[in-house]
Structure 1
Amino acid sequence: MATYHIETYGCTSNRGESRRIERSLRDAGHRPVEGTAEADVAILNTCTVVEKTERNMLRRAEELESETADLIVTGCMALAQGEAFADLDVQVLHWEDVPSAVTNGECPTTTPDAEPILDGVVGILPIARGCMSNCSYCITKFATGRVDSPTIEANVEKARALVHAGAKEIRVTGQDTGVYGWDTGERKLPELLDRICDIDGEFRVRLGMANPGGIHGIHEELADVFADNRKLYDFIHAPVQSGSDEVLEAMRRQHRVGKFREVVDTFEGRLDHWTLSTDFIVGFPTETEADFERSMALLADVRPEKINVTRFSKRPGTDAAEMKGLGGTIKKERSKAMSELKREICTETHASMVGETHEVLAVEPGTGDSIKCRDEAYRQVIVTDAAERGVEVGDLLEVEVTAHEAMYCFGEPI
């Protein structure tokens, strides 16, 4: 039996794919090792979100090739840009084909109770693969394809297995969770979340990225599910990407600003303490100064509690790569301006929590003797001197928020 070393880059969904690979390898009798020196095979699960990431992936592949006898490259970059690895002595494979390549075709079917746990108490549950979008700048769609949704029953069984294995937090993931079930002609996400929350046990559920266009048709039903289920973190990640309808059209996004606002307004009306997470791309080739100001105005008005700002990067093979781009200086200046506004908004959010009492779940170790916790809205609360206070990963506890930084708070156990 083989020893293997696996490295994973990119999103939570990618980490879920790696866990699936590892589960199959373990069930077949193979065992993991920490480094490449003792590994019979190395597996590199790649990301290709931006150009800098792509360069890092190629560099890491070159390093691993020289360190191990056999290297398998999988993940989004491998599937969308497999030719980039043509000069290396590697196998470029789909996620599902990796276990068979390592096990010489012997890949046993695993049982539900073999579902993995991430970081001790966090379980990753990919509910579907692929999306229903055709964004002009996105290369990931070439790797994942159109959405492919397992049944609600299959996903609930996976979630139940994670809970039985000790998961205290289940992260529901996918390229676009909002379109779960679209391939079967049904909008199934609200029912799925309801069913997962009905599983016996004390745990929390975090919904992963859902594009505004995907959840708009179910946003009222979905907001009701959040309001009715204590186990659900009151958190949605709905990437708007631009405050300009003209830019969104050039991006071929499935929503316009009005739909995004309707989603936000609906959740705002149903939930008291909740978190909106969103993304902006600055410097898209068609983005004028006026378009950028619309994005800034939308950000200032909606004031999401979590914001991801990305400079546009051309991805090979995409339609946006053929557009005449903006200069690097313009993108840098716009990114800086939006990041400064982001910091102001996030600081304001966390400052407003000081003095409040919240129930938090201790999710993972922090720096030194601290523990990272998440409150009801998935906002990060740090508990220091955790061992002295008797706080362990997996605990649910009440805290009083006593201080804050820009991106998180500090809490004192009550």
Structure 2
Amino acid sequence: MGKIYIETYGCAVNKSDSEIMKGLLKEAGFSLAKPEEAEIGIINTCVVKESTEKRMIHRIKTLEERFRDKLIVAGCMPLTEYGKLKKLTSASFLGAKNVNRIVEVVRSVKMGKRIEILEGNGIKLCKPRVRENPVIGIVQISEGCLSKCSFCITKYARGNLISYPAEKIVSEIKAAKKSGCKEFWITSQDNGCYGFDSGTNLPELLKRVLKEVKGKYFIRTGMMNPQHVKKILGGLLDVYKDERVFKFLHIPVQSGSDSVLRRMKRGYKVKEFAQIVKRFRKEFPEITVWTDMIVGFPGETERDFSKSLELLKEIKPDFTNISRFSSMRGTEASEMKQLPSEIKKERSRKMFELTNKISLEQNEKWLNWSGKILLDEYNKAKRTWIGRNFAYKPVVIKGKHSRGEFVNVKIIKAEKTHLFGKVVKK
């Protein structure tokens, strides 16, 4: 039928989309290949930041040199930067919500036809897949979100919230578990608002999964925005008590200043974010907390920035994803007065310095801990395994093992990004 190359960028949803595209293409008789061997190329794009968009443009140009008119641009970019892409490339387009139609697009391109599929919406569950990692099942639970953040371009690609039916989500997880998956990533643009459009919510979904999917596995609940978590906090705390749920919380705050959060249109106050984290930590003292920060948002003063640093010192996240603000054309924030790049650079440096210190201190608390980890990753170059403990902490070990294996370890070393362990007897 033909050889296909797929290149993927961006979030867990994009990774899931690429797994489905690969699965559908293989089912239709196509084979997956390296770029130099492939007849048709697909790039699954991300445009979350200006720097990411520039990288996408560079890769599209490079891939077009290789594939000519046999290139397909998929993901968010055809929807957010349609006009720019039309001028840039003669490639075919496939929208982020239309991955179920990849075979149709590839067949058209193979026959020399240029095609665009950008409208419509399909549930991306219970489809054939080629998994990036055979023990990790990426489970998308919804498309779009309910937020209207002034800086976000992804909303234009993914749209308003459409929650997937719980029974289909359960079926997806059951099938993935049967195929060998032992770790499930619950993902979407914002897990926190799941079900708000259909009369249910995330805790109810997780309870159903845990009840109906039997056996030994872990669930990683992906990113949830504070404005929605505060509405379901009690239910979340309850469902997190199940030992199969990683004690892991990814809750982006973006700024420690209420005035900045208002301009961002985030829908919560700093105090509400802090209260959520404290409630989780009270219930689960060893929980791993991730957050996100944007530095240099339009109008951010030195006082605003100082408040962000103070919040980080108070909350002590295990990991902080820091972004220098870059305006995306078409967003409200792009119309605001921008801060000089040197200010953003310096604030970013200061925040990185602080969060690196906090991350190391948080990891050092795990020294001499003993317990079980699930091996989900192998570093071929270093010949080391990475496993996750109950709090989703990455633990590096050596030895002959296999993916999906549970291993007892003792932590002997801590760095800011990883823990290091040695295998011990039970």
User: Which TM-score bucket, shorter chain as reference?
Assistant: over 0.9
Q: Which amino acid aligns with 1:139?
A: I
SS at match of 2:44: strand
Q: What is the TM-score with the length of structure 2 in the denominator?
A: 0.91
The answer on whether the counterparts of 1:190 and 1:221 sit within 8 Å (CA) in structure 2 is yes
Matches within 5 A, 1:245-264: 245-264=258-277
Cα shift at 1:116: 4.4
Cα shift at 1:53: 1.0
Cα shift at 1:75: 0.9
Q: Which amino acid aligns with 1:55?
A: K
- C-alpha spacing 1:127/1:110, structure 2 compared with 1 (3 Å): closer
Cα shift at 1:110: 10
Cα shift at 1:142: 0.2
Cα shift at 1:113: 7.6
SS at match of 2:293: strand
2:113 alignment counterpart: none
Cα shift at 1:26: 1.6
1:100 alignment counterpart: 104
Q: Which amino acid aligns with 1:220?
A: G
Cα deviation code 1:297-332 (max 9, x no counterpart): 000001011111110011011010011111111101
Q: Which amino acid aligns with 2:38?
A: A
Residue from 168, 179, 183 that aligns with 1:169:
183
**Matching of residue 383 in structure 1 with residue 397 in structure 2:** yes
The answer on whether the counterparts of 2:22 and 2:129 sit within 8 Å (CA) in structure 1 is no
Cα shift at 1:258: 1.8
Q: Which amino acid aligns with 1:64?
A: L
The answer on whether the counterparts of 1:275 and 1:379 sit within 8 Å (CA) in structure 2 is yes
1:53 alignment counterpart: 52
Q: Which amino acid aligns with 1:364?
A: E
1:181 alignment counterpart: 195
Residue from 353, 362, 370 that aligns with 1:349:
362
Q: Distance in 2 between matches of 1:338 and 1:46?
A: 28
Cα shift at 1:206: 0.5
Which structure 1 residue ranges, 5 or more long, are not aligned? none
Q: Distance in 2 between matches of 1:114 and 1:285?
A: 44
Q: Distance in 2 between matches of 1:122 and 1:225?
A: 21
1:213 alignment counterpart: 227
1:86 alignment counterpart: 86
Which structure 2 residue ranges, 5 or more long, are not aligned? 110-122
Q: Distance in 2 between matches of 1:91 and 1:271?
A: 49
SS at match of 1:230: coil
Q: Distance in 2 between matches of 1:325 and 1:287?
A: 9
Q: Which amino acid aligns with 2:136?
A: V
Cα deviation code 1:190-243 (max 9, x no counterpart): 12212223312321110111111121100121011001x111100010000001
Cα shift at 1:413: 1.1
Aligned residues: percent identity? Answer: 37
Q: Distance in 2 between matches of 1:383 and 1:113?
A: 34
Cα deviation code 1:240-276 (max 9, x no counterpart): 0001110000000021112212211221121132111
The answer on whether the counterparts of 1:118 and 1:124 sit within 8 Å (CA) in structure 2 is no
SS at match of 2:402: coil
Matches within 5 A, 1:147-296: 147-186=161-200, 188-198=201-211, 199-227=213-241, 229-296=242-309
The answer on whether the counterparts of 1:282 and 1:309 sit within 8 Å (CA) in structure 2 is yes
2:12 alignment counterpart: 12
Q: Which amino acid aligns with 2:188?
A: G
Q: Distance in 2 between matches of 1:117 and 1:211?
A: 27
**Matching of residue 410 in structure 1 with residue 411 in structure 2:** no
Q: Distance in 1 between matches of 2:378 and 2:368?
A: 24
2:351 alignment counterpart: 338
Q: Distance in 1 between matches of 2:319 and 2:281?
A: 15
Q: Distance in 2 between matches of 1:120 and 1:114?
A: 13
Cα deviation code 1:345-403 (max 9, x no counterpart): 0010111111111221111002422001111111111002x22xxx2221112211001
Q: Distance in 1 between matches of 2:239 and 2:345?
A: 40
Q: What is the TM-score with the length of structure 1 in the denominator?
A: 0.94
The answer on whether the counterparts of 1:117 and 1:165 sit within 8 Å (CA) in structure 2 is no
The answer on whether the counterparts of 2:289 and 2:317 sit within 8 Å (CA) in structure 1 is yes
Cα shift at 1:66: 1.3
Q: Which amino acid aligns with 1:331?
A: K
